[in-house]
Amino acid sequence: MYCRFGSNTLVALLPTHSHQSQASRVQLPSRELGERTVSLSHNREIMGFFSFLGRVLFASLFILSAWQMFTEFGGDGGPAAKEIAPKLAIVQKFVTSKLGEGGPKIDVKHFVGASIALKGLGGLLFVFGSSIGAYLLLYYLVYTTPLLYDFYNYHYGEPEFFVLLQEFLQCIALFGALLFFLGMKDSIRRQQLQRKTFKTKTS
């Protein structure tokens, strides 16, 4: 024999704790969502801090070097100019042989000044996450690394070969890190654009 009850009768027959459990089931997802939102926000703040700290530590290599070169610049370009002058003379000789006496003249002081500007400005902009700063540092590495660390001008087995090769590879590693930064920054920008596009379509 089947007993038929109305919906109100069924609700009245349920124990009170079942109503509470249903209410808690409804409220549980919202609580979990709030907790997850707070947790994600906290994690983003932590990762943002470590990201900023990493950029500061990375850029300090260039900023401190630029500051040292600036304080020692003087009237002749300082020790950096004396170190670079012989290598620039080789480059100048090569340019002259290809373009003649009317070719561009490379001034050592200008070369050092450009290096200071690129390292200093690029490092400061990079600290704040600027892509322009990363590009300035990349440009500095491109035109100075082959010139300063010319291991290819020495024979394998000579002490200078290994010292210069190590410095050259370190600069290549810095170059790769800057490329990674630019790639990640572009990837994050694309993800944000896709999210905005998705929200626009759904709304």
Provide the residue ranges of all domains of the chain, joining segments of one domain with +.
49-194
Q: In Å, how far are 38, 72, 80, 163 from 141, measured between CA atoms?
A: 42, 21, 16, 18
Q: How far, in Å, CA of 113 to CA of 81, rounded? A: 10
Q: Residue 117's closest CA among 169, 73, 74, 55?
A: 73
What's the pLDDT score for residue 173? 96
Kindly report, residue by residue over 117-146, the tens digit of the pLDDT.
999 999 999 999 999 999 999 999 998 999
Kindly report, residue by residue over 59-100, the tens digit of the pLDDT.
999 999 999 999 999 888 888 888 888 888 888 888 888 888
Number of Cβ atoms within 10 Å of the Cβ of 174 = 18
Tell me the whole-structure pTM to 2 decimals: 0.74
Q: How far, in Å, CA of 124 to CA of 137, rounded? A: 10
Q: Does 12 score more than 50 pLDDT?
A: no
